[in-house]
Structure 1
Amino acid sequence: MNAQPAVVGPTVLAVANQKGGVAKTTSVASIGAALAELGQSVLLVDLDPQACLTFSLGIDPEDLELSVHQVLTKGSDPAEVIIETEDGVDLLPATIELARAEADLLTRTGREHVMRGVLEDLAASGRAYDWVLLDCPPSLGVLTVAALTAADGVLVPLQCETLSHRGVGQLLDTVHDVRRFTNRGLAVWGVLPTLYDGRTNHARAVLETIAETYDLEVVEPPIPKTIKFAEAPAAGRSILATSRTSKGAKAYREVASNLLARATR
C-alpha cells in the first residue's frame, strides 16, 4: 500500500513594521497579486483596524457585516468571511471593529495562537492556499504577536530614510520573544526597501546601514517611489492591475518571484 504524500500547508508570511507610512499594505496587496499572476493561490489577511488593505482592494469596510474581528474574537467560520477580489487573491477583510480585538483578546488564554487556529480551521475546511500574507497593524500588540506566532517568516518593509529604521530593533526584539515562547520556527526573511529613490546616495547608504546593523538580508529589488502607488487604492486594485508596466509593478513582480524561490528551496 502506497503511503499518502504529506499535506504541505501554505507559506505564511507576516508583513510587519510598527512604523506607519512604509508601504506595508501596498506591499501586501502587490506581492499577493504578483504571486497570483505566478499561478499561486493566495489569501491576504487584513489585521489592521484601519482596514487599508480591505479598502485598497475595492471593498468598503462599512458595507461588511462580518470581518476578521468576528473570526478572531467570536469564532466565526473564516471560510464564510473570505471575499474573492478582482486581483485574483482572496481576502479576510477588516473593519474598524478590529480596534476592539486587542482588548477582547488581552485576557484570553492562548491569545497568541488565535491566528494560527484560524489558519488551521481553514485548512481543515478544505480551503487550501499556497500563500497567506498577514498585513500586521502598525504596532507590536496582540494582533501582531498573533500574526508572528502563525507565520513561517516575517518580511519588514522599510522606507529608505534615516529615521525609518529606528523601530526595527524593537520589532526584532518582539520576533525574538515570539521565537522563545510561541513560534520557534519563525524566520526573518529580510527587509524590503520601499519608497526608494535610486537617484540619491542617501537611500542606498541607509539600506547598507540596516543590513550591517541588524544583520538582515535585503530583499531585492528595492520598490521605487512613484505616484502610481497612490493612484491604485482609489481604483480598488493593486498597482499590478492599474499600472501593469510601471517600475513599481515590475519591482513587485520580481520581489514575488524571489520570495517564491525562497519558499520552494
Structure 2
Amino acid sequence: MNPASPHDVPEVPQHPGWTPIAEEAERAARVLHPEENQLPRPTKRRILTVANQKGGVGKTTSTVNLAAGLAIHGLKTLVIDLDPQGNASTALNVEHRSGTPSVYEVLLGETTLAEAAAVSEQSPNLLCVPATIDLAGAEIELVSMASRESRLKEALSDDALDELGVDYVFVDCPPSLGLLTVNAMVAAREVLIPIQCEYYALEGLGQLLSNIELVQAHLNPELSVSTIVLTMYDGRTKLADQVTNEVRNHFGEVVLKTVIPRSVKVSEAPGYGQTVLAYDPGSRGAMSYLDAAREIAERGARGGTTEKGAGA
C-alpha cells in the first residue's frame, strides 16, 4: 500500500485559478468555522491510552492535537496528563503548578475527576486533568497501595465521566512502561501508538506490545491496539516511505490513512501554550491532525474500531 503523503489528503476541493495561499486560507476556514464541519459522536464513549515508551515520537503532540481536533468540531473530549513532565498540560495552557488539583490527587483518591478537570482555552469542549511535579513520586507511592494498577480506572468510572459528559478520553502516558502506564492501560479499552517515520521507529515497539499482552492477560482482557498514527513523515526521504510501508504491512487497517508530516509549526505551538490547530490552523500539521481526528471520529461512529491484538 502506498503511504498517504500529507499532500494527498483530500483537504480542500481544487478550484481552478486558486493560488496556494487561497487554498491554505480555505483549509484554515475549516478550523476557524468548525460549526460547519461537526464530527459524529461515537456509539459509546471511547477511552484511548496514548503510549510509546520511546521518547520523541510525537506522543504528547498527537494526544493534544487529536483531542483538540475532536473538541473544536463538537465532541466533548478529556485529556488525562499522566506524564510528570506535564507537557500536555502546557500545550493546552492549563494551570499545573504544584498545589493545583491534578491527576496525582485523583490517583490517590483525594479529589474527584470533576474537581481536577480544567477547561482548556482551546475549546469549551476540551478538558484536561493536569499533571504537576507531584506526580513524579506517584509510582513509588502507588506500590504500597491496594489495587495499585486500577487507581485510574476507578477514577474514570462511568459516573465520573457521565458527570463531565465526555465522548472521548485520551490518556497521555510517560515515556516508560512503569506503573503509571500500566494504570493507563487498565483504565482504557484502546491503545493508540504514535510511530515516527524514522530509522529507529520500531525499536522498542516489541516490548510495548509485550506489555500490552501482559495487561490483557492479567488485568484488562478488553484492551487492544486500536489505532496507530504515523508521525514526523518527511516525504523527501525514501526511509520515511519504507517505515510507513513496513508499519502498514504489519498492522494493516489499524494504521490511520492520514500521516502527520514533520512540521516546525507543530513543534513551535506548545511554546505558546497552544495546539497547532490554534497556533497555525492553516498549516499542513494542523490539517493533518484534523484529518486524523476525523478518521478516529468516523471509526467511533461506526460502532466499533479496527482492532488488532498486541502480539499480531
TM-score by length of 1: 0.92
Describe how 1:173-252 pairs up with structure 2 within 5 A. Answer: 173-213=210-250, 217-252=254-289
Q: Which residue of 2 aligns with 1:5?
A: none
Equivalent in 96, 103, 106 of residue 71 of structure 1: 106
* Residue 24 (str. 1) matches residue 59 (str. 2): yes
Which residue is 1:170 aligned to? 207
3-state SS of 2:259 partner? coil
Amino acid at match of 1:14: T
CA distance in 2, matches of 1:65, 1:153: 29
CA distance in 1, matches of 2:112, 2:227: 32
The residue aligned with 2:26 is none
2:70 pairs with 1:35: yes
> Once the 2 structures are TM-superposed, how far is the Cα of residue 210 of structure 1 from its aligned partner?
2.9
5+ residue gaps, structure 2, are 1-42, 303-312
Q: Indicate the SS of the match to 1:65.
A: coil
Partner of 2:121: 86
Query: Distance in 2 between the 1:46 and 1:95 partners?
Result: 9
Shift of 1:117: 0.8
State the partner residue of 1:158. Answer: 195
- For residues 122-156 of structure 1, the C-alpha deviation after alignment (integer angstroms, 9 at most, x for no partner) is 53772221000000110001111111111121111
Q: Tell whether the 8 Å contact from 2:191 to 2:226 is kept in structure 1 after alignment.
A: yes
Alignment partner, residue 133 of structure 1: 170
Contact (CA 8 Å) 1:23, 1:157: kept in 2 or not? yes
Give the conservation status (yes or no) of the 8 Å contact 1:113–1:146: yes
Q: 2:295 aligns to what?
A: 258
Tell me how far 1:252 sits from its aligned partner.
0.6
User: Residue 4 of structure 1 aligns with which residue?
Assistant: none
Question: Distance in 2 between the 1:85 and 1:55 partners?
Answer: 10
Q: Which whole-Å CA distance do the structure 2 matches of 1:145 and 1:189 have between them? A: 17
Which range moved further: 180-189 or 137-146? 180-189
Name which of 50, 55, 60 aligns with 2:85. 50
- Taking only aligned residues, the RMSD between alpha carbons, in angstroms, comes to 1.8
After superposing on structure 2, the runs of 4+ consecutive aligned residues of structure 1 that deviate more than 6 Å are none
- Listed as ranges, the matches of 1:99-110 within 5 Å are 99-110=136-147
Q: What residue ranges of structure 1 are gaps of 5+ in the alignment?
A: 1-7
Q: Determine if contact 1:79/1:122 at 8 Å carries over to the other structure.
A: no
Which letter maps to 2:282? T
- State the secondary structure of the residue aligned to 2:235: coil
In 2, the alpha carbon distance for the partners of 1:36 and 1:158 equals 23
1:236 counterpart letter in structure 2: G
Residues 125, 222 of structure 1: CA spacing in aligned structure 2 closer, same or farther, 3 A cutoff? closer
AA at the equivalent of 2:50? V
What CA deviation, in whole Å up to 9, does each residue of 1:29-70 have, x standing for no partner? 100110012210000000000001111112342265221101
Corresponding residue pairs, total: 258
Contact in 1 for aligned 2:65/2:289 (Cα 8 Å) = yes
Structure whose alpha-carbon radius of gyration is higher: 2
Give, in whole Å, the separation in 1 of the partners of 2:249 and 2:292.
21
Q: Distance in 1 between matches of 2:99 and 2:232?
A: 31
